[in-house]
Amino acid sequence: MINYSFSFKKYFHLFFLLLFSVIGAQKKFTVVLDAGHGGSDHGANRYYSEVGTLREKDVTLSVVLKVGRMLEKNKDFKIIYTRKIDEYPSLTERTTLANRSKADLFISVHCNASTKTSPYGTETFVQGPDQNKTNLEVAKAENDVIYLDEKDREMFASYDPKSPESLIALKIQQSKYLESSLLFGSFIEGNFVKKDKRFSRGVKQQNLHVLRLNAMPSVLIETGFISNYNDAMYLASEKGQNEIAESIYDAIVNYKKAIDRNATAAPKAEPIPEEKPLKNDFRILLMSSPSKYNSTDPALKGLNYILPIKENGLYKYYYGTTNLASVRDNNLKTARDAGFKNATSISFVPNQKLGIGYYTLEIAVTSQKLSSNSKVLNTLKDVNRVKENGKFYYIYGKFSSLEEAVKAQKAIELKGINDSVIQKVSK
The pLDDT of residue 160 is: 54
Q: Which amino acid is at 256?
A: K
Closest CA to 243 of 66, 121, 394: 66
Going by DSSP bridges, is the β-strand pair 383-388/391-399 parallel, antiparallel, or unpaired?
A: antiparallel
Name the strand (E) or helix (H) holding 395: strand 391-399
- Cα-based torsion angle of the residue sequence 153, 159, 160, 164 in order, rounded to the nearest 10 degrees: -160
The pLDDT of residue 338 is: 83
The pLDDT of residue 150 is: 55
Could you count the other beta carbons within 10 Å of the beta carbon of residue 242?
A: 14
Q: How many CA atoms lie within 13 A of 7 on its CB side?
A: 4
The pLDDT of residue 251 is: 95
The pLDDT of residue 1 is: 37
Threshold 0.75, pTM exceeds: no
How many residues are there in the chain? 427
The pLDDT of residue 148 is: 46
Per-residue pLDDT of the chain (427 residues; tens, 9 = 90+): 334 344 444 444 444 444 444 444 456 899 999 999 999 999 999 999 999 999 999 999 999 999 999 999 999 999 999 999 999 888 778 878 887 888 899 999 999 999 999 999 999 988 765 434 444 444 445 445 444 455 555 555 554 545 443 443 333 334 457 778 888 999 999 999 999 999 999 888 776 655 656 678 889 999 999 999 999 999 999 999 999 999 999 999 999 998 888 754 445 555 657 778 889 999 999 999 998 888 788 888 878 788 999 998 899 999 988 888 888 888 898 888 888 999 999 999 999 998 889 999 999 999 999 988 888 888 998 899 999 888 999 999 999 999 999 999 999 988 888 889 999 998 7
Could you count the other beta carbons within 10 Å of the beta carbon of residue 400?
A: 15
| Concatenated DSSP letters of 279-340 | SSEEEEEEEEESS---TT-GGGTT--SEEEEEETTEEEEEEEEES-HHHHHHHHHHHHHTT-
Q: Exposure of 257 by Cβ count < 10 A (0-12 exposed, 13-18 middle, 19+ buried)?
A: exposed
Closest CA to 277 of 313, 327, 237, 234: 327
The pLDDT of residue 66 is: 97
The Cα–Cα gap between 34 and 216 comes to 14
The dihedral sign for the CA sequence 173, 214, 263, 189: negative
